Structure 1
Amino acid sequence: MVNHGPRRGKRVALTFDADMTDAMIVRLRRGEVSSYANLSMLDLLEKRKIPATFFVTGQWAEQYPQVTRRLAANPRFELANHSYEHAAFTADCYGLPRLPAGRMTGDVARTFRVLEPFGGRQTRYFRFPGLCHDKAALRALAPLGVTVVDGDVVSGDPFARSAAPVVQAVLSTVRPGSIVIMHVTEANAQYTDEALPLILAGLQRRGLEPVTLSELLGEQPG
């Protein structure tokens, strides 16, 4: 399990989770929310040529195939696995419905199958929904040969009511080798695009360089 990269040097990894639950799909279909894909944030990353790693749920990729193709087509981006339906792999995980133990392996394998046709820089990195996992969940994923990635800088962007606490959460804890966790799910993390330019400016002031997770860890995506 990986929480951060090498502390030597000046590299950090910006990672963005693309959550999608059954309940989120229902809200989309009812018109209660407009989008769970923050295109303004993607525009900024592309314009500034910032590398990033996206932990994508299978259901998000199916809901937003054009955006997923856009991520896969960018050589500065890489794709990772965030489960299929963003269910909890343990009890008491932010109110998420719990995934039965017998379905854990299949859920993650299904997401790899969903992502494979999109091509691009794909990895065997996996992040548990809500970062919730235990020994049983880790054992269930062992046959898939994944590297479980948490992170040492949690932005808190899904719970923020303005950009300021997101910027503060990142810049107050980031250091060389950090893995920063943010979200691309616009309606559930509506200030990430506003916070991101300030975060990038803060990293630049400290001489910290954003890279993909693979680059931070010295590995090559598949």
Structure 2
Amino acid sequence: MKRIIKPLIVLTVLFCFLNVTIPVSAHGNQPFHFGFKKSKEGKLPSIAEEGFMDTLQKHEAIFLGNTDKKELYLTFDNGYENGYTARILDVLKEKKVPAAFFVTGHFVQDQPELLKRMAAENHLIGNHSWSHPDMTQVSATQIKEELDKVSQEVSKLTGRQGMRFVRPPRGIFSNRMLDVCRELGYTNVFWSIAYKDWDIKQQKGGSYAYGNVMGQLHPGAVILLHSVSSDNAEALGKIIDDARQKGYEFYSLDTLNVKKYR
């Protein structure tokens, strides 16, 4: 018996120690990074081939609209302000285009007037978490706290009650994380058009942003742009005009019937 009990004690102690540091993914919370091969020549990107489609569909996450129609959904991530959001809002107002802005706690605290303007001009304000953590690595309670704080502060500033849409920070998600967000009443929002636009030290001009977005254009696209990008601010008007010339039109995320397009 001694030969059996001693190893069991050692293993039990070791397990208890490892249980504190073991990755969350080992407990049924495998993280995915939302990435795919970009669309070319109007064809759909490779989202269906990346191994996480079943997880997205299970939780009715948004990443595409109706791919049989030339509809576009414009979304921005607002982690912090870099001086271009007002210009973006000016273009959207001039072109009469709806958008969704996913904001963090930093942006909420730092830019109350821009938030009020987004609401006043009938744009959606989405939840991008308070502190921008990897939400696959925090508890359900912490996820709720992150999202509740953004929602409550935005409500105080804009008068809007509740938030419907959430975008996981850095596009990292898991089955558990998506489920927690849905239980809190959110629709998880990803994208089907994006490019590396968030690095403010590597801006390359409006034509670069224009080429990246227009080169990926496809029916039902959910476009992700970062508002810190000077390139995006410069190119946005021409992107809208030329997309419309190609027969596309822009719609608000809250008009998208997720179940219909599955």
Report the TM-score when normalising by structure 1. 0.78
Q: How far is the alpha carbon of 1:43 from its aligned partner?
A: 1.4
- Cα separation, 1, equivalents of 2:174 and 2:131: 19
Equivalent in the alignment of 2:246: 206
Equivalent in the alignment of 1:179: 222
Superposed CA deviations along residues 61-85 of structure 1, whole A, max 9, x for unmatched, are: 221001100001013x111111112
User: 1:108 aligned to 139, 147, 158, which one?
Assistant: 147
CA separation of 1:210 and 1:10: change in aligned 2, threshold 3 A = same
- Cα separation, 2, equivalents of 1:168 and 1:175: 14
Greater Cα shift, 147-156 or 117-126: 117-126
Equivalent in the alignment of 2:73: 13
Superposed CA deviations along residues 41-93 of structure 1, whole A, max 9, x for unmatched, are: 21111122221111122321221001100001013x11111111222224xxx
Equivalent in the alignment of 1:164: 207
Greater Cα shift, 191-200 or 159-168: 159-168
Q: Secondary structure at the match of 2:109?
A: helix
Contact 2:181–2:187, Cα closer than 8 Å, also in 1: no
Equivalent in the alignment of 1:88: 134
Q: How far is the alpha carbon of 1:121 from its aligned partner?
A: 9.0
* TM alignment of 1:1-222, pairs within 5 A: 1-20=61-80, 35=82, 38-75=85-122, 77-90=123-136, 100-101=138-139, 102-117=141-156, 118-119=158-159, 123-159=163-199, 160-162=202-204, 163-185=206-228, 189-217=229-257
Percent identity for Structure 1 against Structure 2: 25
- Cα separation, 1, equivalents of 2:133 and 2:196: 19
Instruction: Select the structure that is richer in helix.
Output: 2
Superposed CA deviations along residues 112-154 of structure 1, whole A, max 9, x for unmatched, are: 1112231359641110111111223223324312110101011
CA RMSD after TM alignment: 2.3
Contact 1:154–1:181, Cα closer than 8 Å, also in 2: yes
Q: How far is the alpha carbon of 1:217 from its aligned partner?
A: 3.5
- Cα separation, 2, equivalents of 1:119 and 1:203: 33
- Structure 2 unaligned segments of length 5 or more: list them: 1-60
The one-letter code of the counterpart of 1:46 is K
- Cα separation, 2, equivalents of 1:113 and 1:89: 19
- Cα separation, 2, equivalents of 1:105 and 1:121: 16
The one-letter code of the counterpart of 1:115 is V
Q: Secondary structure at the match of 2:230?
A: coil
Contact 1:109–1:144, Cα closer than 8 Å, also in 2: no
Equivalent in the alignment of 1:93: none
The one-letter code of the counterpart of 1:56 is V
**Higher relative contact order, chain-length normalized (CA < 8 Å, sep 6+):** 1
- Cα separation, 2, equivalents of 1:202 and 1:142: 36
The one-letter code of the counterpart of 2:75 is T
- Cα separation, 1, equivalents of 2:118 and 2:159: 10
The one-letter code of the counterpart of 1:161 is Q
Aligned residues: 194
Q: How far is the alpha carbon of 1:157 from its aligned partner?
A: 1.8
CA separation of 1:138 and 1:36: change in aligned 2, threshold 3 A = farther
